[in-house]
Amino acid sequence: MLAVAKDVTKSFMGTKVLDNVNLMINQGDRIAMMGPNGAGKTTIVRALLGFYHIDSGEIRVNGADPIKNRVDVLKHISFIPQLPPPVKLSIEELLSFVEKSSAISREKIFLESERMDLDLKNQLNKPFFKLSGGMKQKLLIAIALSKKSNLLIFDEPTANLDPKGREKFYELLTEIDPSCSTLFITHRLDEIEGLVNRQIYMDLGKVVEDEKI
Amino acid sequence: MKNLLLIAYLDVKESLRSKWFYVYSVVFGGLMALFFITGVSDSVVMGFTGLSRTLLIFIQVTIIILPIFILITTVKSISGDRESNVLEYMLSFPVSLKDYYWGKMLGRFSTVFLPVFLALILGVVFGMLKGGVLPWKMIFLYSALLFSLSFVFLGLAFFLSTILKSTDIALGASFVVWIVLLAFIDIALMGLMLQNRVSDDVVITLAMLNPIEVFRIGAISLFDPELTVIGPVAYYLLDTLGSTWLIVYAFVYPIVIGLLLSYIGYIAFRKKDLL
Protein backbone atom coordinates (compact mmCIF):
# COMPACT_ATOMS: atom_id res chain seq x y z
CA MET A 1 0.00 0.00 0.00
CA LEU A 2 1.47 3.31 -1.11
CA ALA A 3 -0.75 5.80 0.63
CA VAL A 4 -3.62 5.51 3.02
CA ALA A 5 -6.02 8.02 4.49
CA LYS A 6 -8.12 6.60 7.32
CA ASP A 7 -11.18 8.43 8.68
CA VAL A 8 -9.63 11.77 7.80
CA THR A 9 -11.52 14.87 8.85
CA LYS A 10 -10.48 18.42 8.20
CA SER A 11 -12.41 21.64 8.79
CA PHE A 12 -11.73 25.20 7.80
CA MET A 13 -13.43 27.86 9.90
CA GLY A 14 -16.02 25.41 11.12
CA THR A 15 -16.82 23.95 7.70
CA LYS A 16 -15.98 20.30 7.22
CA VAL A 17 -13.98 20.04 4.01
CA LEU A 18 -13.01 16.41 4.53
CA ASP A 19 -15.58 14.29 6.31
CA ASN A 20 -14.27 10.89 7.42
CA VAL A 21 -12.45 10.26 4.16
CA ASN A 22 -11.05 6.79 3.61
CA LEU A 23 -8.74 6.34 0.68
CA MET A 24 -6.16 3.76 -0.23
CA ILE A 25 -3.67 4.08 -3.06
CA ASN A 26 -1.92 0.90 -4.08
CA GLN A 27 1.13 0.38 -6.23
CA GLY A 28 0.22 0.68 -9.90
CA ASP A 29 -3.07 2.48 -9.27
CA ARG A 30 -3.93 5.05 -11.95
CA ILE A 31 -6.60 7.12 -10.34
CA ALA A 32 -8.87 9.80 -11.76
CA MET A 33 -10.26 11.83 -8.89
CA MET A 34 -13.34 13.83 -9.79
CA GLY A 35 -16.02 15.89 -8.15
CA PRO A 36 -17.49 19.37 -8.11
CA ASN A 37 -15.64 22.41 -6.82
CA GLY A 38 -15.31 22.31 -3.04
CA ALA A 39 -15.65 18.52 -2.93
CA GLY A 40 -12.34 18.17 -1.05
CA LYS A 41 -10.13 16.82 -3.86
CA THR A 42 -7.35 19.37 -3.51
CA THR A 43 -7.61 19.25 0.29
CA ILE A 44 -7.01 15.51 0.46
CA VAL A 45 -4.07 15.84 -1.93
CA ARG A 46 -2.60 18.64 0.18
CA ALA A 47 -3.08 16.54 3.28
CA LEU A 48 -1.20 13.67 1.59
CA LEU A 49 1.61 16.13 0.80
CA GLY A 50 1.78 17.26 4.44
CA PHE A 51 0.47 20.79 3.91
CA TYR A 52 -2.49 20.38 6.24
CA HIS A 53 -2.72 19.18 9.81
CA ILE A 54 -5.81 16.98 9.82
CA ASP A 55 -8.34 17.27 12.67
CA SER A 56 -8.72 13.53 13.10
CA GLY A 57 -7.85 10.29 11.38
CA GLU A 58 -4.56 9.10 10.03
CA ILE A 59 -2.53 9.54 6.85
CA ARG A 60 0.43 7.43 5.84
CA VAL A 61 2.44 7.73 2.64
CA ASN A 62 4.98 4.98 2.07
CA GLY A 63 4.33 4.05 5.71
CA ALA A 64 5.28 7.50 7.04
CA ASP A 65 3.39 10.47 8.44
CA PRO A 66 3.62 13.32 5.90
CA ILE A 67 3.76 15.93 8.67
CA LYS A 68 6.38 14.29 10.87
CA ASN A 69 8.45 12.79 8.06
CA ARG A 70 7.79 15.28 5.28
CA VAL A 71 11.26 15.03 3.73
CA ASP A 72 11.15 11.23 3.46
CA VAL A 73 7.58 11.27 2.18
CA LEU A 74 8.18 13.95 -0.44
CA LYS A 75 11.26 12.21 -1.81
CA HIS A 76 8.94 9.75 -3.50
CA ILE A 77 6.15 12.05 -4.67
CA SER A 78 5.98 14.25 -7.76
CA PHE A 79 3.39 16.98 -7.74
CA ILE A 80 2.04 19.31 -10.39
CA PRO A 81 -0.26 22.06 -9.13
CA GLN A 82 -3.40 23.22 -10.89
CA LEU A 83 -1.89 26.55 -11.92
CA PRO A 84 1.85 27.18 -12.29
CA PRO A 85 2.85 29.41 -9.36
CA PRO A 86 4.50 32.78 -10.13
CA VAL A 87 7.93 31.63 -8.98
CA LYS A 88 10.33 34.56 -9.35
CA LEU A 89 13.43 32.39 -9.66
CA SER A 90 15.06 32.11 -13.05
CA ILE A 91 14.76 28.74 -14.76
CA GLU A 92 18.42 28.12 -13.96
CA GLU A 93 17.76 28.76 -10.27
CA LEU A 94 14.59 26.68 -10.23
CA LEU A 95 16.45 23.79 -11.82
CA SER A 96 19.24 24.22 -9.31
CA PHE A 97 16.69 24.05 -6.45
CA VAL A 98 15.05 20.96 -7.89
CA GLU A 99 18.38 19.30 -8.67
CA LYS A 100 19.88 19.83 -5.22
CA SER A 101 16.79 19.29 -3.09
CA SER A 102 15.48 16.23 -4.88
CA ALA A 103 18.53 14.73 -6.60
CA ILE A 104 16.94 15.08 -10.02
CA SER A 105 19.32 15.03 -12.95
CA ARG A 106 19.28 18.22 -14.97
CA GLU A 107 19.91 16.25 -18.15
CA LYS A 108 16.79 14.23 -17.49
CA ILE A 109 14.76 17.44 -17.13
CA PHE A 110 16.18 18.74 -20.41
CA LEU A 111 15.30 15.45 -22.05
CA GLU A 112 11.72 15.45 -20.77
CA SER A 113 11.35 19.11 -21.78
CA GLU A 114 12.49 18.37 -25.31
CA ARG A 115 9.94 15.60 -25.50
CA MET A 116 7.31 18.18 -24.53
CA ASP A 117 8.63 20.49 -27.29
CA LEU A 118 10.01 22.90 -24.71
CA ASP A 119 13.37 24.44 -25.46
CA LEU A 120 14.83 25.07 -22.03
CA LYS A 121 18.51 25.51 -22.74
CA ASN A 122 18.06 28.88 -24.45
CA GLN A 123 15.91 30.33 -21.70
CA LEU A 124 17.82 29.45 -18.56
CA ASN A 125 18.20 33.04 -17.41
CA LYS A 126 14.56 33.91 -17.91
CA PRO A 127 12.44 34.22 -14.74
CA PHE A 128 10.03 31.31 -14.51
CA PHE A 129 6.98 33.57 -14.12
CA LYS A 130 7.74 35.26 -17.44
CA LEU A 131 7.24 32.04 -19.41
CA SER A 132 3.87 31.56 -21.09
CA GLY A 133 1.26 29.56 -19.16
CA GLY A 134 1.77 26.52 -21.40
CA MET A 135 5.56 26.65 -21.13
CA LYS A 136 5.41 26.89 -17.35
CA GLN A 137 3.14 23.88 -17.18
CA LYS A 138 5.39 21.90 -19.52
CA LEU A 139 8.41 22.65 -17.34
CA LEU A 140 6.58 21.55 -14.20
CA ILE A 141 5.54 18.35 -15.99
CA ALA A 142 9.13 17.75 -17.15
CA ILE A 143 10.39 18.19 -13.57
CA ALA A 144 7.70 15.90 -12.16
CA LEU A 145 8.40 13.17 -14.70
CA SER A 146 12.17 13.43 -14.13
CA LYS A 147 11.86 12.78 -10.42
CA LYS A 148 12.14 9.17 -9.37
CA SER A 149 8.83 8.93 -7.59
CA ASN A 150 6.43 6.13 -6.88
CA LEU A 151 3.43 8.46 -6.70
CA LEU A 152 2.68 11.21 -9.20
CA ILE A 153 -0.01 13.68 -8.25
CA PHE A 154 -1.44 15.93 -10.94
CA ASP A 155 -3.96 18.60 -10.06
CA GLU A 156 -5.59 19.31 -13.43
CA PRO A 157 -2.22 19.31 -15.17
CA THR A 158 -3.41 20.10 -18.67
CA ALA A 159 -5.45 23.20 -17.85
CA ASN A 160 -2.89 25.47 -19.53
CA LEU A 161 -1.83 23.23 -22.39
CA ASP A 162 -2.87 23.54 -26.02
CA PRO A 163 -4.24 20.38 -27.72
CA LYS A 164 -0.80 19.41 -29.03
CA GLY A 165 0.75 19.87 -25.60
CA ARG A 166 -1.95 17.70 -24.05
CA GLU A 167 -1.37 15.00 -26.61
CA LYS A 168 2.38 14.99 -25.87
CA PHE A 169 1.71 14.92 -22.14
CA TYR A 170 -0.62 11.94 -22.38
CA GLU A 171 1.89 10.21 -24.64
CA LEU A 172 4.59 10.64 -22.00
CA LEU A 173 2.29 9.29 -19.32
CA THR A 174 1.90 6.03 -21.21
CA GLU A 175 5.64 5.52 -20.74
CA ILE A 176 5.61 5.84 -16.96
CA ASP A 177 6.85 2.78 -15.09
CA PRO A 178 3.74 0.58 -14.48
CA SER A 179 4.66 0.16 -10.80
CA CYS A 180 4.41 3.92 -10.32
CA SER A 181 0.99 5.17 -9.16
CA THR A 182 -0.69 8.28 -10.46
CA LEU A 183 -3.46 10.42 -9.07
CA PHE A 184 -5.15 12.89 -11.41
CA ILE A 185 -7.54 15.49 -10.17
CA THR A 186 -9.62 16.21 -13.21
CA HIS A 187 -12.95 17.34 -14.54
CA ARG A 188 -12.42 15.65 -17.91
CA LEU A 189 -12.42 11.90 -17.53
CA ASP A 190 -12.77 11.43 -21.29
CA GLU A 191 -9.26 12.81 -21.84
CA ILE A 192 -7.49 10.45 -19.49
CA GLU A 193 -9.80 7.48 -19.74
CA GLY A 194 -7.17 5.30 -21.36
CA LEU A 195 -4.60 6.23 -18.73
CA VAL A 196 -6.51 5.36 -15.57
CA ASN A 197 -7.65 2.10 -14.03
CA ARG A 198 -9.67 3.51 -11.15
CA GLN A 199 -12.01 6.43 -10.61
CA ILE A 200 -12.88 8.14 -7.38
CA TYR A 201 -15.72 10.59 -7.07
CA MET A 202 -15.81 13.02 -4.16
CA ASP A 203 -18.60 15.29 -3.03
CA LEU A 204 -19.11 17.41 0.09
CA GLY A 205 -15.87 16.16 1.61
CA LYS A 206 -16.65 12.47 1.21
CA VAL A 207 -15.60 9.74 -1.17
CA VAL A 208 -18.94 8.82 -2.72
CA GLU A 209 -17.71 6.47 -5.41
CA ASP A 210 -14.53 4.44 -5.79
CA GLU A 211 -14.40 1.88 -8.54
CA LYS A 212 -11.97 0.08 -10.83
CA ILE A 213 -12.34 0.74 -14.52
CA MET B 1 22.19 22.53 6.17
CA LYS B 2 22.79 22.10 2.44
CA ASN B 3 19.16 22.94 1.69
CA LEU B 4 19.12 25.83 4.16
CA LEU B 5 22.03 27.47 2.36
CA LEU B 6 20.42 26.69 -0.99
CA ILE B 7 17.17 28.41 0.05
CA ALA B 8 19.14 31.37 1.43
CA TYR B 9 21.13 31.67 -1.79
CA LEU B 10 18.01 31.51 -3.95
CA ASP B 11 16.27 34.10 -1.80
CA VAL B 12 19.23 36.46 -2.21
CA LYS B 13 19.20 35.90 -5.99
CA GLU B 14 15.45 36.54 -6.09
CA SER B 15 15.79 39.71 -4.00
CA LEU B 16 18.62 41.02 -6.17
CA ARG B 17 16.24 40.98 -9.12
CA SER B 18 13.42 42.66 -7.23
CA LYS B 19 12.53 46.31 -7.60
CA TRP B 20 12.20 46.76 -3.85
CA PHE B 21 15.87 45.87 -3.42
CA TYR B 22 16.98 48.58 -5.85
CA VAL B 23 14.74 51.18 -4.23
CA TYR B 24 16.03 50.11 -0.82
CA SER B 25 19.70 50.29 -1.88
CA VAL B 26 19.25 53.58 -3.72
CA VAL B 27 17.48 55.15 -0.73
CA PHE B 28 20.25 54.33 1.73
CA GLY B 29 23.19 54.83 -0.65
CA GLY B 30 21.51 57.95 -2.07
CA LEU B 31 20.90 59.40 1.37
CA MET B 32 24.53 59.11 2.25
CA ALA B 33 25.60 60.68 -1.06
CA LEU B 34 23.04 63.43 -0.53
CA PHE B 35 24.47 64.29 2.88
CA PHE B 36 27.85 64.93 1.33
CA ILE B 37 26.53 66.75 -1.74
CA THR B 38 24.41 69.08 0.38
CA GLY B 39 27.29 69.82 2.71
CA VAL B 40 25.79 68.25 5.84
CA SER B 41 29.24 67.01 6.77
CA ASP B 42 30.53 70.58 6.86
CA SER B 43 27.81 71.91 9.13
CA VAL B 44 28.09 72.07 12.89
CA VAL B 45 25.18 71.18 15.16
CA MET B 46 25.54 70.64 18.90
CA GLY B 47 29.28 70.42 18.36
CA PHE B 48 29.13 67.59 15.82
CA THR B 49 30.77 68.13 12.47
CA GLY B 50 32.48 66.20 9.67
CA LEU B 51 32.03 62.45 9.48
CA SER B 52 30.47 62.25 12.96
CA ARG B 53 27.77 64.70 11.91
CA THR B 54 27.04 62.76 8.73
CA LEU B 55 26.86 59.44 10.53
CA LEU B 56 24.65 60.94 13.21
CA ILE B 57 22.15 62.17 10.61
CA PHE B 58 22.35 58.87 8.77
CA ILE B 59 21.51 57.00 11.95
CA GLN B 60 18.65 59.41 12.75
CA VAL B 61 17.13 58.79 9.33
CA THR B 62 17.78 55.07 9.62
CA ILE B 63 15.82 54.91 12.86
CA ILE B 64 12.73 56.05 10.98
CA ILE B 65 12.97 54.31 7.62
CA LEU B 66 14.92 51.09 8.17
CA PRO B 67 12.24 49.36 10.29
CA ILE B 68 9.41 50.11 7.87
CA PHE B 69 11.52 49.16 4.85
CA ILE B 70 12.37 45.82 6.41
CA LEU B 71 8.79 45.18 7.49
CA ILE B 72 7.26 46.05 4.11
CA THR B 73 9.72 44.06 2.04
CA THR B 74 9.89 41.03 4.28
CA VAL B 75 6.44 40.59 5.73
CA LYS B 76 5.29 39.27 2.35
CA SER B 77 8.00 36.64 2.10
CA ILE B 78 6.02 33.74 3.53
CA SER B 79 2.44 35.05 3.47
CA GLY B 80 2.91 36.24 -0.13
CA ASP B 81 4.34 32.89 -1.22
CA ARG B 82 1.42 31.21 0.50
CA GLU B 83 -1.16 33.37 -1.26
CA SER B 84 0.40 32.97 -4.68
CA ASN B 85 0.79 29.18 -4.26
CA VAL B 86 4.57 29.43 -4.62
CA LEU B 87 4.86 27.86 -1.18
CA GLU B 88 2.69 24.93 -2.28
CA TYR B 89 5.01 24.14 -5.16
CA MET B 90 8.36 24.79 -3.47
CA LEU B 91 7.39 22.76 -0.42
CA SER B 92 6.24 19.83 -2.53
CA PHE B 93 9.96 19.03 -2.81
CA PRO B 94 11.75 17.22 0.02
CA VAL B 95 12.93 20.29 1.89
CA SER B 96 12.43 20.42 5.65
CA LEU B 97 10.40 23.29 7.05
CA LYS B 98 13.38 24.19 9.22
CA ASP B 99 15.65 24.59 6.19
CA TYR B 100 13.02 26.54 4.29
CA TYR B 101 12.14 28.98 7.07
CA TRP B 102 15.63 29.69 8.37
CA GLY B 103 17.08 29.67 4.86
CA LYS B 104 14.57 32.34 3.83
CA MET B 105 15.42 34.34 6.91
CA LEU B 106 19.16 34.09 6.34
CA GLY B 107 18.79 35.15 2.71
CA ARG B 108 16.50 38.03 3.54
CA PHE B 109 18.77 39.21 6.35
CA SER B 110 21.67 39.47 3.93
CA THR B 111 19.64 41.57 1.51
CA VAL B 112 18.28 43.97 4.12
CA PHE B 113 21.44 44.41 6.16
CA LEU B 114 24.08 44.70 3.44
CA PRO B 115 22.76 47.82 1.65
CA VAL B 116 22.53 49.76 4.96
CA PHE B 117 25.95 48.54 6.02
CA LEU B 118 27.44 49.43 2.64
CA ALA B 119 25.84 52.89 2.83
CA LEU B 120 27.56 53.35 6.19
CA ILE B 121 30.87 52.28 4.66
CA LEU B 122 30.21 54.63 1.72
CA GLY B 123 29.78 57.49 4.18
CA VAL B 124 33.05 56.59 5.88
CA VAL B 125 34.87 56.47 2.53
CA PHE B 126 33.44 59.90 1.54
CA GLY B 127 34.44 61.28 4.92
CA MET B 128 37.96 59.91 4.58
CA LEU B 129 38.29 61.44 1.11
CA LYS B 130 37.37 64.79 2.61
CA GLY B 131 40.19 64.40 5.07
CA GLY B 132 38.45 63.02 8.14
CA VAL B 133 39.91 60.64 10.69
CA LEU B 134 38.81 57.02 10.45
CA PRO B 135 36.49 56.47 13.45
CA TRP B 136 37.01 52.71 13.89
CA LYS B 137 35.13 52.44 17.15
CA MET B 138 32.15 54.28 15.74
CA ILE B 139 32.04 52.22 12.55
CA PHE B 140 32.24 48.99 14.51
CA LEU B 141 29.53 49.95 17.00
CA TYR B 142 27.24 51.42 14.36
CA SER B 143 27.54 48.30 12.24
CA ALA B 144 26.68 46.21 15.31
CA LEU B 145 23.68 48.41 16.13
CA LEU B 146 22.44 48.35 12.53
CA PHE B 147 22.86 44.58 12.58
CA SER B 148 20.71 44.23 15.70
CA LEU B 149 18.07 46.72 14.48
CA SER B 150 17.82 44.87 11.15
CA PHE B 151 17.60 41.57 12.99
CA VAL B 152 14.78 42.52 15.35
CA PHE B 153 12.60 43.87 12.54
CA LEU B 154 13.36 40.91 10.35
CA GLY B 155 12.32 38.62 13.20
CA LEU B 156 9.13 40.65 13.63
CA ALA B 157 8.42 40.53 9.89
CA PHE B 158 8.87 36.74 9.77
CA PHE B 159 6.68 36.37 12.83
CA LEU B 160 3.87 38.41 11.24
CA SER B 161 4.38 36.76 7.87
CA THR B 162 3.92 33.32 9.39
CA ILE B 163 1.08 33.86 11.81
CA LEU B 164 -1.02 36.05 9.51
CA LYS B 165 -2.24 34.26 6.42
CA SER B 166 -3.18 37.33 4.40
CA THR B 167 -0.51 39.62 2.98
CA ASP B 168 -2.76 42.66 3.36
CA ILE B 169 -3.33 41.99 7.05
CA ALA B 170 0.37 41.33 7.58
CA LEU B 171 1.22 44.64 5.89
CA GLY B 172 -1.39 46.49 7.94
CA ALA B 173 -0.07 44.92 11.15
CA SER B 174 3.47 45.99 10.19
CA PHE B 175 2.39 49.61 9.84
CA VAL B 176 0.61 49.53 13.19
CA VAL B 177 3.65 48.07 14.97
CA TRP B 178 5.98 50.58 13.31
CA ILE B 179 3.80 53.57 14.17
CA VAL B 180 3.38 52.44 17.79
CA LEU B 181 7.11 51.87 18.26
CA LEU B 182 7.92 55.17 16.60
CA ALA B 183 5.40 57.03 18.71
CA PHE B 184 7.11 55.73 21.83
CA ILE B 185 10.58 56.96 21.14
CA ASP B 186 11.98 59.59 23.39
CA ILE B 187 9.67 62.48 22.61
CA ALA B 188 6.43 60.63 23.36
CA LEU B 189 8.00 59.20 26.48
CA MET B 190 8.96 62.68 27.62
CA GLY B 191 5.36 63.78 27.05
CA LEU B 192 4.11 60.92 29.21
CA MET B 193 6.57 61.83 31.94
CA LEU B 194 5.61 65.49 31.89
CA GLN B 195 1.93 64.70 32.14
CA ASN B 196 2.58 62.61 35.25
CA ARG B 197 -0.27 60.29 34.30
CA VAL B 198 1.87 57.17 34.45
CA SER B 199 4.69 56.40 36.81
CA ASP B 200 8.27 57.02 35.74
CA ASP B 201 9.02 53.31 36.07
CA VAL B 202 6.46 52.53 33.38
CA VAL B 203 7.97 55.15 31.09
CA ILE B 204 11.48 53.78 31.64
CA THR B 205 10.25 50.22 31.03
CA LEU B 206 8.51 51.29 27.82
CA ALA B 207 11.73 52.89 26.65
CA MET B 208 13.78 49.82 27.43
CA LEU B 209 11.32 47.51 25.66
CA ASN B 210 11.14 49.56 22.47
CA PRO B 211 13.90 48.39 20.11
CA ILE B 212 13.79 51.66 18.15
CA GLU B 213 14.35 53.68 21.31
CA VAL B 214 17.06 51.28 22.46
CA PHE B 215 18.82 51.66 19.10
CA ARG B 216 18.47 55.43 19.25
CA ILE B 217 19.92 55.69 22.74
CA GLY B 218 22.77 53.29 21.88
CA ALA B 219 23.62 55.13 18.67
CA ILE B 220 23.54 58.62 20.11
CA SER B 221 25.50 57.65 23.19
CA LEU B 222 28.46 57.13 20.88
CA PHE B 223 28.51 60.80 19.94
CA ASP B 224 27.19 62.26 23.07
CA PRO B 225 28.27 60.16 26.05
CA GLU B 226 26.20 62.34 28.38
CA LEU B 227 23.10 61.95 26.15
CA THR B 228 22.33 65.63 26.56
CA VAL B 229 20.69 65.83 23.12
CA ILE B 230 17.90 63.41 23.97
CA GLY B 231 15.45 63.17 26.78
CA PRO B 232 15.44 62.28 30.44
CA VAL B 233 14.65 58.60 29.88
CA ALA B 234 17.91 58.10 28.03
CA TYR B 235 19.68 60.09 30.69
CA TYR B 236 18.20 57.91 33.41
CA LEU B 237 19.20 54.72 31.57
CA LEU B 238 22.72 55.99 31.13
CA ASP B 239 22.90 56.81 34.78
CA THR B 240 21.56 53.40 35.81
CA LEU B 241 23.38 51.12 33.38
CA GLY B 242 26.53 53.06 32.60
CA SER B 243 27.71 53.73 29.05
CA THR B 244 29.25 50.30 28.39
CA TRP B 245 26.25 48.29 29.56
CA LEU B 246 23.94 50.64 27.73
CA ILE B 247 25.73 49.84 24.46
CA VAL B 248 25.75 46.11 25.27
CA TYR B 249 22.02 46.26 26.03
CA ALA B 250 21.32 48.24 22.84
CA PHE B 251 23.06 45.53 20.81
CA VAL B 252 21.93 42.36 22.61
CA TYR B 253 18.29 43.16 23.47
CA PRO B 254 17.04 43.59 19.85
CA ILE B 255 18.81 40.38 18.83
CA VAL B 256 17.18 38.45 21.66
CA ILE B 257 13.74 39.83 20.71
CA GLY B 258 14.40 39.14 17.02
CA LEU B 259 15.39 35.55 17.81
CA LEU B 260 12.36 35.07 20.02
CA LEU B 261 9.90 36.43 17.45
CA SER B 262 11.42 34.50 14.57
CA TYR B 263 11.40 31.32 16.65
CA ILE B 264 7.71 31.77 17.52
CA GLY B 265 7.14 32.34 13.81
CA TYR B 266 8.97 29.11 13.05
CA ILE B 267 6.89 27.15 15.56
CA ALA B 268 3.71 28.57 13.98
CA PHE B 269 5.05 27.65 10.52
CA ARG B 270 5.54 24.06 11.68
CA LYS B 271 2.40 23.66 13.72
CA LYS B 272 -0.16 25.42 11.55
CA ASP B 273 -1.44 24.52 8.09
CA LEU B 274 1.12 25.57 5.51
CA LEU B 275 -1.48 26.72 3.00
Q: In the beta sheet, which residues pair with residue B257?
A: none
Whether A192 has its CB under 8 Å from any CB of chain B: the answer is: no
pLDDT of residue B130: 75
Say what the ipTM of the complex is: 0.94
Distances (CA, A) of A81 to A70, B12, B84: 18, 25, 12
Q: Quick check: A89 and B271 CB within 8 A? A: no
Q: Quick check: A97 and B90 CB within 8 A? A: yes
Q: Are B198 and B188 in contact (CB under 8 A)?
A: no
Work out the average pLDDT over B89-116.
95
For B6, which residue in chain A has the nearest alpha carbon?
Answer: A97
In chain B, what are the domain boundaries? 2-271
Q: What is the pLDDT of residues A14-41, one digit of tens each?
A: 999 999 999 999 999 999 999 999 899 9
Of B14, B88, B89, the CB nearest to A88: B14
Work out the average pLDDT over A138-165.
88
Domains of chain A in start order, with CATH, are 3-86+150-212 (3.40.50.300)
Q: In the beta sheet, which residues pair with residue A32?
A: A184, A199
Of B85, B93, B274, the CB nearest to A81: B85
Q: Are B97 and B3 in contact (CB under 8 A)?
A: no
Q: Quick check: A101 and B93 CB within 8 A? A: yes
Secondary structure class of B245 (helix, strand, coil): helix
Work out the average pLDDT over A50-54.
96
| Cβ neighbours of A44 in B, within 8 Å | none
Q: Is the pLDDT of residue B48 over 70?
A: no
Q: Quick check: A85 and B96 CB within 8 A? A: no
pLDDT of residue A187: 84
Query: B20 CA to chain A: closest CA distance, Å?
Result: 14
Helices (H), chain B: 2-16, 19-37, 50-74, 76-83, 86-90, 97-129, 136-163, 167-183, 186-195, 200-209, 211-223, 232-241, 243-271
Q: What is the pLDDT of residues A154-209, one digit of tens each?
A: 988 877 788 888 888 888 888 888 889 999 998 888 878 888 999 999 999 999 99
Give Cβ neighbours of residue B68 (< 8 Å, ≥ 6 apart): B174, B175, B178
Buried b (16+ CB within 10 A) or exposed e, B101-111: bbbbbbbbbbb
Q: What is the pLDDT of residues B139-178, one digit of tens each?
A: 888 899 999 999 999 999 999 999 988 889 999 999 999 9
- Which contiguous run of DSSP H or E holds residue A96? helix A91-102
User: How does DSSP classify residue A210?
Assistant: E
Query: B265 CA to chain A: closest CA distance, Å?
Result: 17
Look at the pTM and tell me if it is higher than 0.90: yes
- Cα separation, A154 vs A151, whole angstroms: 10
Q: Quick check: B85 and A102 CB within 8 A? A: no
How far does chain A reach from its first CA to its final CA, in angstroms?
Answer: 19
Q: What is the pLDDT of residues A68-111, one digit of tens each?
A: 999 999 999 999 998 899 999 999 999 999 999 998 999 999 99
Q: How confident is the model at residue A54 (pLDDT cuts 50, 70, 90)?
A: very high
Q: Quick check: B89 and A140 CB within 8 A? A: yes
Q: Tell me the HSE value of B163 on the side-chain side, using a 13 A CA sphere.
A: 14
Identify the residue with better confidence: A65 or B230: A65
Of A51, A100, A140, the CB nearest to B275: A51
Cβ neighbour number for residue B134 with a 10 Å cutoff:
12
Q: Are B130 and B49 in contact (CB under 8 A)?
A: no
Among A147, A50, A22, which residue's Cα sits nearest to residue B275?
A50
